[in-house]
Amino acid sequence: MAKASIGVVGLGVMGRNLVLNIERNGFHVAVYNRTQSKMQAFLQGEAAGKHITGSDSYPALMAQLEKPRCVLLMVTAGSAVDAGIEEIKPFLEPGDILIDGGNSYFMDTERRSLALTAEGLHFVGMGVSGGEEGALWGPSIMPGGTPEAWQALAPILRKIAAKAEEDGEPCVTHIGPRGAGHYVKTVHNGIEYADMQLIAEIYDLLSRGAGLPAAELAGIFDEWNRGELRSYLIEITAKILRRTDEITGKPLVEMVLDEAQQKGTGKWTSQNAFDIGAPIPTINAAVESRILSSLKAERVAASRVLRGPSPRFTGDRAALVEAARAALYASKILSYAQGMSLLRIASAEYDYHLDLAEIARIWRAGCIIRAGLLGDITAAYRRNPALSNLLLDDAFRQAVESRQAALRHVLQTAIGLGIPALALGSALAYYDAYRSERLPANLTQAQRDFFGAHTYRRVDQEGIFHTDWE
């Protein structure tokens, strides 16, 4: 029997779907799962009649693979990855490639990469975005690791990745060394958090504030998805708003408890941005909004004693909807500007040599944040690879400038109605701060010098100064 091109360890939903995707694209796959009954059920069910073979041990798995052997670990991020590496490592040989396809913390990938490289092995931290459907039919793939590992994996990854509608290009590229792939996936998820929160705040303003019913909002989001806001998240928002609850007959979205959960990648994005000094207030606001949502019992109690304006909009609803569309597009640009700036700063900090145009290119299809906007972002970084901030590209500068009045109007309306808009507000504040030649940090630094003798610099002289303020 011919050797398998790749082995996959871990047959959860993502693992199974990736196996089926790889096999459908012409590759023989060998699989292993700790629970053998789960593997047998897969082999006798979805994998029946396909070029997918099972293994009852790691030695048996290795014997099925062509060299250099490529093994994809699809296990839960964290200690399970370390345990899996330790179990499989004795059966690997120098030159073999071990891939972690989970949502691992990039610093864990850095550590694992250095340790395995010292033993002559190639370790690839590979971000995969697109959920279960993407894994089966084509995700966006973000592999880090050595160029040699990329060359070996590229024929498979290019085949199974999503293909962009514009040019048919596969949404995969070699991201960079060591933990670069998992880092970029983390930032992708941070942008995803922000995008979802911005949409939620617009929904809240139009639903709770302006009183638009879910069915009408579904039509609005459908219309938006045919224009500049075209994206996966806008598309599914329309579908969610249109769905009726079979039990109550009400819109199903209104029966979903308002507690948003998170798996940690958004939080990692915020934490790392603080570590390396990158301002991403809209992503941070999205993380904080999820945390606030989790305080459900506290919010219910607070709602009975804390007073504010009544959310009853009495103005022109059609004008507000149009302003909301423009505000959402502007705030999405501002969110992407923050995320891409974070990638630029991290690239220098960790010596990743990230190609921002390529990263935007591979996000155009397959992933959760896929959007028409990403083609324009790709073009901006191709025009100027050294672009320090997306807002300094003429096209995006004009796009935000021409919509800032709408964003300000939407925020003023939300504030007047008492509708929280943490992400929308942070997006505008970021824009106003970034375009300010002078910020009040002069007072902050003077305060620091007053109480801690931290010194300051002057605008008119070189050097470091300290004042006895008393």
Active-site residue, from 192, 201, 228, 288:
192
For residue 28, give both structure tokens: 């023989």
Active site annotation includes 38: no
Backbone angles phi, psi at 184, to 5 degrees: -65, -40
Active-site residue, from 23, 110, 185, 267:
185
Angle separating helix axes 281-293 and 422-434, nearest 10 degrees = 160
Active site annotation includes 185: yes
As annotated, the active-site residues are 185, 192
